Structure 1
Amino acid sequence: MDTCTVRKTECADIVDISGEPYCICVLKQGYCLAEPDGSFRADGTISLLTGPKRILVDTGGPWDRDFLLSKLKDKGLTPADVTLVVCTHGHSDHVGNLGLFPSATVVVGCDISQGDRYLPNHLAEGQPYPIDDHVSIIPTPGHTGRDVSVLVKGGTMGTVLVAGDLFECCNDEDSWKELSENPEVQEVSRQTALRMADVIIPGHGPVFKVFRTPKTNLTEKS
């Protein structure tokens, strides 16, 4: 049962979130734009965590290859410097550049691999997969059956969730349901995320902050 009310505030100007020991940079802000012919143009958010490990969350579509290489170079990095790549789910605008990182540990949904060696984990059973004391991969199913998000503690803005398409954007209202394989399950994942995170990086829009206000329960004595 909810014990607080939640409101969200878009922060379009935030691309860097400092923290200890991890800093987060939004290398590319995702988008989703409807076209007059009924199609839509979309690309996923690409985020980079730098700290004890260098972690890339989602790789954009294959059309982002040169963009991603350029952004890593701006950070003084090459693909070989990235130790972990997490793709929140298997859609093409999130996994399009996995081939750039053959030496990294790769997470796609609930699969974790090092080369052709797949590692045991319990993400599909609803359990988190800790990377270290500050970063963990958590299951957030609904958009697809095995979506995951990356939870980062120790940021100056509080706990950050790099959420993939758990949230399309700050004010996605009910529009996310049209893209969801299981809206009921995704709603549970969304509410859990809103209770645990202070900042959310969505799959197709600007960073937003989460504000929680405790509810007051008034009971009358007879």
Structure 2
Amino acid sequence: MAYEVHVLYDGFSKMTENGMEANCSCTLIKGPKKIIVDTMTAWDKELIIEGLARHGVTCEEIDYVVCTHGHSDHIGNNNLFMNAKHIVGFSVSFKNTYFIHPFETGDLFEREEDIKDPHLWQHVAGSDEPGLQRQNRNRVLQLADWVVPGHGPKFQVTQKMKQDVEDILNNSDNQFHYI
């Protein structure tokens, strides 16, 4: 059985006079294992349950909860999935057991617009490791057909995006250009 990707809710982020308003994208991956990626804020419990139900899935059926990082808008409903293994940023756990796993995650892409406006991922959303994030963004753009960003609708990776990355990687004078 193949896997299907269903974006339950598109994320968003925007600056306001009071700070930033944001909620993450929430994605269901259905296949031999059922996976939910990022569980929104604690106030979105009913949205998650309703979103899963639209695809014939209950919280109890989820095998893995993957939270790209520990911000409150990405982990707010992890407690709905008590039968699942939880992967949160660097931590992989099931009940009281934590597994050692060498990977890093986060909002690799804030939203599609940050490809043309790197300021969005570098400064507005903030990047702890801009060099590493830039490398991983480029790698994903080379490999992926679609991207589900942390705070926006999924978008198709175009040939132009792939070619732009290739041009940047082949031009050592352009090492400081951010995609």
TM-score bucket (shorter structure):
0.7 to 0.9
Partner-residue secondary structure (3-state), 1:121: coil
Q: Distance in 2 between matches of 1:76 and 1:186?
A: 35
Q: Residue 61 of structure 2 contacts residue 83 of structure 2 at CA under 8 Å; is this kept in 1? A: no
Matches within 5 A, 1:1-222: 21-35=2-16, 37-123=17-103, 146-147=104-105, 165-172=107-114, 173-174=117-118, 175-178=120-123, 179-210=126-157, 211=159, 212-213=162-163
Give per-residue Cα distances to partners, 1:162-221, cap 9 Å, x unaligned. Answer: xxx110111112221011112122111111111111111101111111123476x9xxxx
Q: Distance in 1 between matches of 2:121 and 2:102?
A: 26
Structure with the higher fraction of residues in helix conformation = 2
Q: Distance in 2 between matches of 1:180 and 1:58?
A: 18
Q: CA deviation at 1:75?
A: 2.0
Q: Distance in 2 between matches of 1:191 and 1:171?
A: 15
* Structure 2, unaligned runs of 5 or more: 171-179
Give the letter for the 1:147 counterpart: T
Q: CA deviation at 1:38?
A: 4.7
Partner-residue secondary structure (3-state), 2:56: coil
Q: Greater shift after overlay, 108-117 or 48-57? A: 108-117
Give the letter for the 2:14 counterpart: L
* Structure 1, unaligned runs of 5 or more: 1-19, 124-145, 149-164, 218-222
RMSD of equivalent CA atoms: 1.7
Give per-residue Cα distances to partners, 1:111-155, cap 9 Å, x unaligned. Answer: 1111111123232xxxxxxxxxxxxxxxxxxxxxx315xxxxxxx
Give the letter for the 2:12 counterpart: Y
Q: What is the TM-score of this pair, normalised by structure 2? A: 0.82
Q: Distance in 2 between matches of 1:76 and 1:199?
A: 24
Q: Distance in 2 between matches of 1:206 and 1:71?
A: 15
> Which is bigger in relative contact order (C-alpha 8 A, separation at least 6)?
1
Partner-residue secondary structure (3-state), 2:53: helix
Q: Structure 1: which 4+ aligned runs deviate by more than 6 Å?
A: none
